[in-house]
Amino acid sequence: MNKAQRDITLRFLAEPQDVNFGGKVHGGAVMKWIDLAAYACAAGWSSRYCVTAYAGGIRFVAPIHVGSLVEVEAKVIYTGNSSMHIALEVNACDPKSLNHRLTTHCIVIMVAVDQNGQSVSIPQWNPVTEIDKKQHETAINLMDIRKKIGEEMQIFIE
């Protein structure tokens, strides 16, 4: 059996079709890259097909310019029975200078599913390093916060 992979980094150049009228990469394009990286990360950890259950806490810190070298880093920070909580960070730089800067970060929750779309159990990830333990604990705290946000947001669903 193949070894599970906890993290992955996608690297590519921001192309003209990704750019808005202001010459910066569309927020939607960044979100698509985040979703792709989260999928590759979750599939690599679970060896399963996965779907996106949640994406949140997204913060666009700085714009990405056309021609930038983009790196989308995704890593598992918590596993449930079928879900993988994934922390994502997007960094970009001019490929001539390689001077990376953070542009976007967020959390995505992917769920491993079978051919009928039913959630299935995945291997557990256990934090080892101090930073991993802190991030794992934060992922657990965020579940409570998200529950409260979900309850508040019910009012917008008709």
Ligand X SMILES: CC(C)(COP(=O)(O)OP(=O)(O)OC[C@H]1O[C@@H](n2cnc3c(N)ncnc32)[C@H](O)[C@@H]1OP(=O)(O)O)[C@@H](O)C(=O)NCCC(=O)NCCS
CB of 53 to ligand X, least distance (A): 4
Of 19 and 113, nearer to ligand X (C-beta) is 113
- 111 scored as a contact of ligand X (CB under 6 A): yes
Task: Give all strands of the β-sheet with 69-79 in edge-to-edge order.
Answer: 7-13, 69-79, 83-93, 101-112, 50-60
Of 13 and 143, nearer to ligand X (C-beta) is 143
Map the footprint of ligand X across residues 8-37, applying CB under 6 A: none
CA-to-CA dists, residue 89 to 45, 58, 115, 120, angstroms: 18, 10, 30, 27
- 66 scored as a contact of ligand X (CB under 6 A): no
**Type and span of the H or E element at 105:** strand 101-112
Of 23 and 56, nearer to ligand X (C-beta) is 56
CA-CA distance, 24 to 30, in Å (whole number)? 11
Q: Which stretch binds ligand X (CB under 6 A): 26-34, 59-67, 89-97, 107-115?
A: 107-115
Residue 99 is encoded by which pair of tokens? Answer: 């001077």
Residue from 80, 93, 135, 138 touching ligand X (CB under 6 A): that is: 80
CA-CA distance, 97 to 11, in Å (whole number)? 16
CB of 61 to ligand X, least distance (A): 24
Q: Are 52 and 39 in contact (CB under 8 A)?
A: yes
- 53 scored as a contact of ligand X (CB under 6 A): yes
Q: Which residues bind ligand X (CB under 6 A)?
A: 51-54, 80-83, 109, 111, 113, 117, 119
